[in-house]
Structure 1
């Protein structure tokens, strides 16, 4: 009998809603147990089952409809609970792997993706595949993994330098990830210091250094690490503070490399720390304040008020060369390669040095006032001067190629990525130049005082001024994206990466900002009397500040904890489980002293902006 022949009065009516929501089906639901039924009841059920199996589809539907019409709400709720699990099917059980993985790539929330691995073994296998986590890495701007060979020498750069010259390899590069899989403790060793080397830690026992475990080679493990680092930057991290000098000293330059933290002061001393912040040696040789320096591997080039340019071996603390020729303070220094350094001086000249042989290759003459800043890209060096001009020079030929005119006052900061030049001036403006023809492409207005901090990265420019503001500009439109009221006084330090901006000010505060949203993420450390310099890399930040009339160094680590389970690519990530929650809990102890990890990226900055006398 077909369903179309059923009289209307026999069709099932809509069942009444159950008085309470039916409970969710559980794995423990079973076929009803008839063991307690009487003998005649069991026989009747068998007969009904046999008759039902012999009916066609239409007859079965009619019988079911009649039976359901006879049921009360509690019986209908039982039918609902019994039937619902039978109608639910896991699509991942039937769909091919390619489609299942494609579906998982649309999950934007890492916690949801991680929890989905607990649904079933099938889901666990799918979530363990790298495709979904690769998509999440891209959505969160964690760069994709790369199989490119690793260059053995880390490159130390200025924050304003182009990413192509930067050792900042991004969160997903193997140069960063290869340090993540094993952890080992090794006793710190040191050679006998040079007679002119003093250690502030001489009386302290050698502290074991912690090496990062080897890198995971899956997007899944990589995403978890980057997620934990970002979480630490936003609300955690470990900080260790130490007094740099017993006397008050102005920090004029600060650099962070894979092996060293190097600090220059206006008292003629250069302090060298390992990457954990343990003092190794003090370089003494300058007789007046050190105002510029730049490291390259284990070589350091420094210059200061005594007009000398000195070459040091950071490993031994020995001076290699003393280069003389400038007739006034050496105000800025950069290196174009491991053999060539360029210095700018208040004597209005730049000099190109061969640091291996210890000789001057070229004297670049053209500026009419002090050379305040310079930046290098390839064979070109761009210098900014108090004569209101910037000049483009050829390093190999030792001659001026172009003069950039347009500013109305002294130039204090410069950035150059090979495609564009940005200059910041006392006239409150920032100008963008084309290095190929010297044409001014844009004038960025907005600051109300000296623009002394610049960093350029791709199509983004970030500037800081003595008006306390930080501005984020698009170099595609030459318009301001964000205007940040960052500090109550001058911005003394500024650096940004793909995710964040870190600014330090003479108001004694260090602030972390979200680059894309332009919002304040947190303040790093407690307020000080003044912040001299801040440098950051992906998992570390170093802050030089004046606190309690003392020069203090704070080393912040944002590295994830070393747990072998986190780096097994064969097991799924469990971000919402105990590993992640334990890590979040550990970040609450952010201000307690803790040990530090070595770092694989380097970023450094320009000298602090101060008045020239």
Structure 2
């Protein structure tokens, strides 16, 4: 029975260290000869094994340390010459010594882990040796001293060990590690990991898709987005992106050629400034009065063309809606007479009056350039094209004028009554008179080409697109003419009262009548497309752009219509509506401007029909002060005001909402209550405010 037990023990010893297994055989034979009690030997082996487990738990040795410990145990069994009477005494002594050394070493490791925060997470290597002379178990005393020196190496070894784990083992290791951490450590780990979890998903999409998605965010947010990184700055400045934005907001790219970036500005036109005014302007520029304008231009030139167009449009919109009104330019003339007709091409203003004269003004400086004298009766109609003005008068003549020189080029005679309306296209002019006739003139030669006969009453309004002439009369009809063949193509009958206003876009005719209705006609067939009802009096003025029609009526309302459906989209009324008849109107892609006998000019939102604010309000409004005419060109507005009873001086008021208007750059921003919002004085004015609005 003893031999198998000793062989098993010997085999276990040899599996731990092959070099010692061969030397253990004599010991076994010696134990056999000494008749060693098997139970005693098993007790030594079990106790030694238990001690080794205790040692492993206290010091957490690596695999190599376990091997060394097994070698030590074998040495203890091999090198000791045990006799029958001393085997228990010597094994117990070795065990006691082993336990003492292990406890001391464990205490030192615990003490070191308390002083060094990271030492508890490191593997400690212990070198245990048995001095064969003294037969005592000793430890290497330099182990703890070398621990701090080997700390980086230990970290690297720990990381290398972690890298060998599979994904599941890594997750388990991290979970166990976090369980050992307190709240401070967890918070630190959270702050470290959170930025790494953030991911820019949009930038990983195809560029075309990114540009498409960005068209759905507000353009002003793109300016903030451009500050995130260089990559996003490049995306936010992409020409395709801003082209789509301009298309979405219906921004006309002509704003670049007609605006502040155009090669020729209003101030550069001939005969607008004399030498004295030019020298004053140059001096003002040298004094830095226009430096903000120049800085804004330099700022604008740093962007692509579509972004420029959007920025200009946005700034102009703020000028119209939220900034305080620009300083008006007052043009006093015509004494106390009524201004009967008003034309404006953005550079020059032409006003006609019942004082028998026309006056030409510079829209930039407000300077009177010329007074056209020649008519012997009041001027009731005028047309402006380039440097040519055509006027019709109660003296029954039509005159052609040169704006630059003020010279009357031709006097066109033939009508037998007041010339009430004019239409000009190219070098062909159509005149309509109270004598019920229309005449076709060549303004270059002064020759009458055709006389169009057919109306039974005064011709009140006329349109000409170069191909067809459309005329409206007090005989309740509209006629379509071929002026080159002196042929009446269609007689449009549908109104039951006088026709006062007329529009023609080449395909559709829109007529307004004293019968309160507005009719849309097909010029090719002469049929009625829509009959628009809703007004309650005379339609005094209309404007058309695309499929949108705006009409002003003597019932004090303004209506916005869809020519596709014939539906009234908005009625501009409410508590802020005009208090008297609407005299004139104009509109662009965003706003409607209307004037009235109540002495006000109002601004409305085209899309919603909401009232925005008053652009002009005469102090004499409601007591006789009226706004007779308005003429709107892009972002400038001219208003002809006065009174028939002398309570308001006759004058023209010019408001410039264009970019970069010097009078607007430092104006405060107006809130919804009409009060100026406080602004940061250090914030750049003008266009720069768009970035933070």
TM-score, normalised via structure 1 length: 0.75
Q: Which stretch of structure 1 is more off in the superposition, 41-50 or 505-514?
A: 41-50
Alignment of 1:73-472 (within 5 A): 73-91=183-201, 94-107=204-217, 109-143=218-252, 145=253, 171=255, 175-176=257-258, 180=261, 190=271, 208=281, 218-236=305-323, 238-245=326-333, 247-276=335-364, 277-337=366-426, 339-472=427-560
CA distance in 1 between partners of 2:170 and 2:118 (Å): 24
CA distance in 2 between partners of 1:76 and 1:287 (Å): 96
Verify the 8 A CA contact 1:245 1:550 in the aligned structure 2. Answer: no
The corresponding residue for 2:674 is none
Does the alignment pair 1:551 with 2:650?
yes
Q: Which stretch of structure 1 is more off in the superposition, 310-319 or 77-86?
A: 77-86
Change (3 A) 1:579 1:393: farther
Superposed CA deviations along residues 269-308 of structure 1, whole A, max 9, x for unmatched, are: 1110123132111111112210000011111100111111
Verify the 8 A CA contact 1:187 1:206 in the aligned structure 2. Answer: no
Give the count of matched residue pairs: 504
Verify the 8 A CA contact 2:390 2:401 in the aligned structure 1. Answer: yes
**Residue of structure 2 aligned with 1:536, choices 621, 632, 637:** 632
The corresponding residue for 1:4 is none
Secondary structure of the structure 2 residue equivalent to 1:306: coil
Verify the 8 A CA contact 2:334 2:651 in the aligned structure 1. Answer: no
CA distance in 1 between partners of 2:611 and 2:429 (Å): 38
Secondary structure of the structure 2 residue equivalent to 1:76: helix
CA distance in 2 between partners of 1:489 and 1:537 (Å): 25
Does the alignment pair 1:508 with 2:596?
no
CA distance in 1 between partners of 2:279 and 2:630 (Å): 27
By how many angstroms is 1:205 displaced? 8.1
Does the alignment pair 1:494 with 2:585?
yes
Secondary structure of the structure 2 residue equivalent to 1:307: coil
By how many angstroms is 1:87 displaced? 2.1
Superposed CA deviations along residues 103-161 of structure 1, whole A, max 9, x for unmatched, are: 43332x01111110100111111112112212221221114x5xxxxxxxxxxxxxxxx
The corresponding residue for 1:483 is 571
Does the alignment pair 1:64 with 2:158?
no
Unaligned runs of 5+ in 2: 1-114, 120-145, 283-289, 663-678
Bigger RCO of structures 1 and 2 (CA < 8 A, at least 6 apart): 1
Change (3 A) 1:93 1:293: closer
CA distance in 2 between partners of 1:185 and 1:387 (Å): 44
Unaligned runs of 5+ in 1: 1-33, 146-168, 193-200, 564-575, 588-613
Secondary structure of the structure 2 residue equivalent to 1:273: strand
Secondary structure of the structure 2 residue equivalent to 1:525: strand
CA distance in 2 between partners of 1:66 and 1:345 (Å): 100
Secondary structure of the structure 2 residue equivalent to 1:239: coil
| Between structures 1 and 2, the one with greater helix share | 2
Change (3 A) 1:186 1:141: closer
Superposed CA deviations along residues 547-599 of structure 1, whole A, max 9, x for unmatched, are: 75212222222222389xxxxxxxxxxxx999996227999xxxxxxxxxxxx
Larger Rg: 1 or 2?
Answer: 2
Q: Which stretch of structure 1 is more off in the superposition, 552-561 or 291-300?
A: 552-561
By how many angstroms is 1:101 displaced? 3.1
CA distance in 2 between partners of 1:294 and 1:187 (Å): 23
By how many angstroms is 1:64 displaced? 0.9
CA distance in 2 between partners of 1:533 and 1:82 (Å): 69
Change (3 A) 1:233 1:369: same
Verify the 8 A CA contact 2:334 2:355 in the aligned structure 1. Answer: no
The corresponding residue for 2:685 is 582
Verify the 8 A CA contact 2:593 2:602 in the aligned structure 1. Answer: yes
Change (3 A) 1:578 1:225: farther
Superposed CA deviations along residues 478-534 of structure 1, whole A, max 9, x for unmatched, are: 121111124111111111222221111111111111111111122113335211111
Change (3 A) 1:40 1:250: farther
Change (3 A) 1:180 1:579: farther
Change (3 A) 1:122 1:258: same
By how many angstroms is 1:45 displaced? 4.4
Verify the 8 A CA contact 2:271 2:404 in the aligned structure 1. Answer: no
Change (3 A) 1:546 1:206: farther
CA distance in 1 between partners of 2:266 and 2:484 (Å): 46
CA distance in 2 between partners of 1:446 and 1:395 (Å): 35
By how many angstroms is 1:220 displaced? 1.7
Secondary structure of the structure 2 residue equivalent to 1:473: strand
